């Protein structure tokens, strides 16, 4: 998988399928573009590290938000499933 950062292309080996690798490339490119609108502004190694740290923090924030959303959906699903089981048990008891 090739990733372009600050005008330099870096190659990474991956065991991911090509579609997943492409989605990761696209996501990283979008996040990089948000932070580094003009890569010529980042000349020193320190500036580049700070910029890529900002990219990593943005991605981590999105990940945490998705984890929280997933956890809430799981909680709602479990509550609804429990409620449906109670209804089914009541119906079965009443029919016996």
Contact status, residue 1 vs residue 21, Cβ threshold 8 Å: yes
**What pLDDT score does 19 carry?**
94
- As a whole number of Å, the end-to-end CA separation of the chain is 62
3-state SS class at 4: strand
Compute the distance between CA of residue 94 and CA of residue 74 in angstroms, rounded to an integer.
30
**Contacts of residue 48, Cβ cutoff 8 Å, sequence gap at least 6:** 5, 6, 42
pLDDT score of 66 more than 90: yes
Please tell me whether the overall predicted TM-score, pTM, comes out greater than 0.75 for this model: no
pLDDT score of 3 more than 90: no
């Amino acid at each position: 998988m090739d990733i372009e950062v600050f005008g330099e292309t870096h190659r990474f080996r991956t065991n991911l399928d090509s579609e997943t690798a492409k989605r990761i490339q696209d996501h990283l490119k979008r996040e990089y573009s948000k932070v580094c609108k003009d890569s010529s502004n980042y000349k020193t190694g320190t500036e580049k590290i700070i910029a890529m740290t900002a990219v990593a923090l943005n991605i981590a924030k999105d990940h945490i938000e998705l984890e929280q959303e997933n956890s809430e959906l799981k909680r709602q699903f479990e509550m609804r499933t429990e409620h449906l089981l109670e209804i089914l048990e009541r119906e079965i008891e009443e029919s016996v």
